Chain A
Amino acid sequence: MHRKVILSSISSDSHVWNLIYLQLLLEELNFDVINLGPSVATQDLVKACHRHKPTHLVVSTVNGHGYIKGLEIIRAVRQMNLLKNMNVVIGGKLGVNGVISNEQIQHLHAEGFDGVFVNSTAIEEFRYYMHQGQRVMRVV
């Protein structure tokens, strides 16, 4: 049986090509992908998770607001009892200058992200992570 993934951006990010690429990559790994697309409000993201009950939520964003919006998303998701087994990862360019600090990465983990993929080998690490289906991976 295929595992199901919700793929999404954050509310302020209108970039699409990263989402298309990740969809192709996840399909190659035999995931069923529900691609919510760009500019998704956090509440809509949570609703979609309840509706589709995916094994993974993958948040991809490149406009620099990913750290702040990532915290908002993970807090909203981790509040939900029904979503407590869902793996949640985030990746892309999460800071305004394209980067975030190690402290910020640790903070994202501490708030409940299972994976944070931001450095130059992010795609390889993400592919490996999704392939293995590991629950927790610390990427710092």
Chain B
Amino acid sequence: MSESKSFYAFVESVAQKKQLIVQPRMGVSDFKKMGQGLRAVSNLPFPVVATITIDSFTRNLELQELDQVLKEGHELNGFPLITYGAESLQELLKTYSRPDLLVQVRHGSPLPYELFKVMVEGGIYFSEGGPLSYCLPYSRVPIEQTLENWTKSLTFLAQYPAAHMESFGGCMLGQLCHPSLLIAVAVLEGLFFKQCGIRDVSLSYAQGTHLTQDLAALRVLQECATQYLEGCNVHRVLYTYMGMYPITPAGARALLKESVRLAKISGVERLVVKTEVESIRIPTFDENINALITAHRIAESKEILSDVTFDLEEYDRIKLQAHSIIHAVLSLDACVGEAIGKALHRGMIDIPYCLHPQNKNQARCGIDARGYLQWISAGNIPLDSKTISPYFGRGFKLSPDGFINMLSFMQRKFDGAA
């Protein structure tokens, strides 16, 4: 695989044709099957990025336990790249016939250095994550350790001109996080990448609970990308809703359609899709391929662009909040990594409902009557109180049932309408 393939050049060429790149999540432990998956994606006659998702043992560097599980004949929830090694990856990338296919390694690791070494040696320079987005939500690794390892990993990756990094910061915990905080985390991780020498960057955003609010947020994300990441090639990547997903096939399809609509109206370059079985299990390759075909078809239809309202006031609020967080964090230290660490300790970055031992967990978000995400409490996050909706009053107390209702808001909305 040639090193000169540029992620951004591909993104640009597709964007010029006003098309949307679609991408699956895809990873299995069986080598042959992984090759079949990549081949199936590469055979699609429209713009795609392929994915190798890494298993959770490798993510946590539990490689001995991984060996044991494989020996016992169990399947893993992803591709164990470190265990297979770089040569195997090179072999794997020969199994499909489209040399221009971009393959991104998706991993979830708070300590990705070992993985990046194998990945690069095997011929892939495109990955994702970040020191906040892959430390806080699911790991217990101290942020200091994550920042150190990520600095080393990215400095290593940045030696290769083709290197592309996507911040997963716009997807913190997958649901119930305010758009302004998602944007701030994505931008801060993008700045961290830049400081490590990465010049080809994408910023993520997970579909929220209301199309209009998301449109406002994605415009803010676009402007922040231009403003803060000068000197980098930047594009945006949207994730179809990552929270509790509709159970009915019709509800799941409708939510996928809504996310494609959001991507097209906001001009996002890339979309990571979900399948119809998402609420039940890990999808098969066929289900993934079908979701990509469906997403592409919807993206090409004109009707989805009609009847759009833009909420200028919400846009202003999200913009003020995102800038406020980014400025406050950057003012803590000239080194972005140091600033991120300090901000976490002070609760200036505080991810709602995140149970990482270093996350203050005083910030709370909820869903208002319109279906917008709002702050229940902002904790110590530096926000101008004038920008916070008064919907959840001071004395508001989140009940267990109220919480379940918010968690399942999109599931009920789309299953109900289906």
A interface residues, Cβ below 8 angstroms from B:
12, 14, 16-17, 19-21, 24-25, 28, 35-40
Contacts and interface: CB of A to CB of B under 8 A. Distances in A.
B400 A39 contact: no
Contacts of A28: 399-400
Interface string B365-403: 000000000000000000000000000000000111001
Given A37-B355, A39-B138, A17 B400 contact: no
B111 to A, nearest CB: 14
Interface of B (DSSP majority class): loop
Contact of B355 (A12, A19, A21, A24): A19
B229 interface: no
A24 B356 contact: no
27 contacts: A14-B56, A14-B137, A16-B137, A16-B173, A16-B353, A16-B354, A16-B355, A17-B353, A17-B407, A19-B355, A20-B355, A21-B403, A21-B404, A21-B407, A24-B400, A24-B403, A25-B400, A28-B399, A28-B400, A35-B355, A37-B140, A37-B355, A37-B356, A38-B140, A38-B355, A39-B138, A39-B139
Contact of B399 (A12, A14, A24): A24
Nearest to A15: B138
Contacts of A16: 137-138, 173, 353-355
Contacts, number: 42
Top 10 closest A-B pairs, CB basis? Answer: A37-B355, A14-B138, A25-B400, A24-B400, A20-B353, A24-B403, A16-B355, A39-B140, A21-B400, A35-B355
Contacts of B355: 16, 19-20, 35-38
Contacts of B138: 14, 16, 38-39
Contacts of B407: 17, 21
Interface in B47-67: 56, 60
Interface of A (DSSP majority class): mixed
Contacts of B60: 39
Contacts of A39: 60, 138-140
Given A28-B400, A38-B140, A40-B140, 10 more contacts: A12-B56, A14-B137, A20-B355, A24-B399, A24-B400, A28-B399, A37-B357, A38-B355, A39-B60, A39-B140
Interface string B331-374: 00000000000000000000001111100000000000000000
